[in-house]
Amino acid sequence: MPSTLTEATDPYCLRPGEAAELLREHPWRRFVVLGDSVAEGLCEPADGYPDLQWADRIAAELRAIRPELAYLNLGRRGLRAHEVRTTQLADALAFEPDLALVVCGGNDAFRSAYDPNAVDAELTAMITALREAGADVITVGMFDVSHSPAVPDALRAGLGERMRRLARHTRGVAERLGTLHVHLTDHPLVADPSLYSSDGRHGSARSDAIATAETLRILSTHVPHP
């Protein structure tokens, strides 16, 4: 990544005023986030990009249109999919959201014993409960972190295969249940080292800026623009 590149000049990020146009007159008033460290927000700072994580960015842009928007982020690092469901779903439903972001499965895919069907079942349970409660649900196919330079070469191929399988399965669940799905796994920059943190498990502020742009574009398809 050129040293002079910033969010304002990054071709994969939003231009000034674009978020407001995408979300103009959006209907959401209560936004909840469920998930692991990606939901909680552990992005590593990157020169030229604000140190503001993905879910908080989405909430800020939604709130810019509707200042009364209520926002609750339940995300906690280290959780596997079943732990997200058992520790966060009840609180999420009690919040009475009309928009929910569910992002998990990465910690399952980091294990060689990853069971995609088990993760699918947990995602299905959460999405179904949230949809039945009246919320629109966002799901995510995450960036393939196996491209991080910090991932040992001996682990890269196996991790990449599991991350891509997780993304395929998540997209399948999304298509079956009708979520607003953000697919980042095949993004043109997925192999760019600037997207990843030095711990080999998380993203950079640049990846969160790009993920925000892609998420808002998907949300805009659900906004009744005049």
Locus of tokens 């146009």: 21
The answer to whether 20 touches 65, Cβ cutoff 8 Å, is yes
Residue keyed to tokens 């503001």: 52
Could you report the per-residue pLDDT of 69-105, keeping only the tens digit for each? 999 999 999 999 999 999 999 999 999 999 999 999 9
Kindly state the tokens that stand for 192.
Answer: 């760019």
Does CATH number 3.40.50.1110 belong to domain 21-220? yes
Query: Residue length, the chain?
Result: 226
Report d(CA 165, CA 105) in Å as an integer. Answer: 11
pLDDT at 201 over 90: no
Distance of CA 102 to the CA centre of its chain: 7
Q: Is the pLDDT of residue 197 over 60?
A: yes
pLDDT, the chain, mean: 94
- Assessment of whether the complete model's pTM goes beyond 0.85: yes
Residue 140 CB burial class (10 angstroms; 0-12, 13-18, ≥19): buried
Q: What is the per-residue pLDDT across 164-178, written as a single tens digit (0 to 9) for each? A: 999 999 999 999 999
Identify whether the C-beta of residue 214 lies closer than 8 Å to the C-beta of residue 19: no
Q: Which tens digits make up the pLDDT trace of 118-154? A: 999 999 999 999 999 999 999 999 999 998 888 899 9
User: In the 8-state DSSP scheme, what is residue 43?
Assistant: P
Coil, strand, or helix at residue 181?
A: strand
Domain boundaries of the chain, sorted by first residue = 21-220
